[in-house]
Amino acid sequence: MAGSWGPFPDSQFYLRKVEGAYSTHGYWIMTGAAFLEGLFVLSWYFPGAVLVLRGAVYSAEGLLSLPIVITCGAGGFITAYTIDYALGRKGWVALLSSIGLPTQSPKLRTLIETHGPIAILLAQVHPHSAALASTLCGVFRMSFFRFFLFTTAAVFLWGSFWGILVYAFGRTTLSILSSSWVPWVVVGIWLSLGAIRAWKYKSTKSGQPKSNVSTE
């Protein structure tokens, strides 16, 4: 679901390139495309989700199997998000720590462990926000088991939703989802929801009465 960014080609360019190969290599195309778009930073330039959802269109036409299309896309995305998590935990964390961000803060880690699952669920609505969320889960050291469990569940949930939607309504839905403004809307909504949850969490904590410890 990525559009054209600067010198990079848009989704229609890639669709034209692989259009004739879906009948023989469709599942491999979708797995590879999902993997590329799931990688942090690269996800903003490569429209892998569009190539996966094109498979749902071909499923409706009897050329491919929708469950296998969803599974291939999910496999590619989950692999990429796991790499994002690892890079966040081992690479980005060092960079962010060097500029003074509190990546080792116990409070932030508790916040991620507590609210990370819902953030992952919301982020997986789109590969751009999902790649960012996966990286941040690594940076703030969310446990890998929880990250992988909730990411896998969310990827299959949203993948099934989008796949069935395109399967049912066809190319018109796909053309809307591949529009260049969709990523900005999705990421904006995700960041807004995250900010609201953080504000509510901070308000709740600040409203709790402090315990008075007296010494005699």
The predicted-structure confidence for 112-148, as pLDDT tens digits, reads as follows 667 778 888 888 888 888 898 898 888 888 889 999 9
Query: What pTM did the predictor assign?
Result: 0.73
Q: Are 34 and 75 in contact (CB under 8 A)?
A: yes
**Rounded mean pLDDT of 25-50?**
85
Give a yes or no: residue 215 inside a domain.
no
Give a yes or no: residue 75 inside a domain.
yes
Tally the domains of the chain: 1
Give a yes or no: residue 30 inside a domain.
yes
- What's 211's DSSP letter? P
Residue 183 or residue 154, greater confidence: 154
* Separation between Cα atoms, residue 134 and residue 147, nearest integer Å: 8
150 lies in which domain range?
11-198
Give a yes or no: residue 3 inside a domain.
no
Query: pLDDT category, 93, cuts 50, 70, 90?
Result: low
Structure tokens given for 18: 């692989």
Q: Which of 1-5, 73-77, 86-90, 196-200 has the highest mean pLDDT?
A: 73-77
Structure tokens given for 144: 């890998």
- Ramachandran category for residue 67: left, alpha or beta (phi over 0 → left; psi -120 to 50 → alpha): alpha
* Separation between Cα atoms, residue 80 and residue 74, nearest integer Å: 10
Structure tokens given for 115: 């609210």
Give a yes or no: residue 5 inside a domain.
no
Give a yes or no: residue 208 inside a domain.
no
Query: pLDDT category, 214, cuts 50, 70, 90?
Result: very low
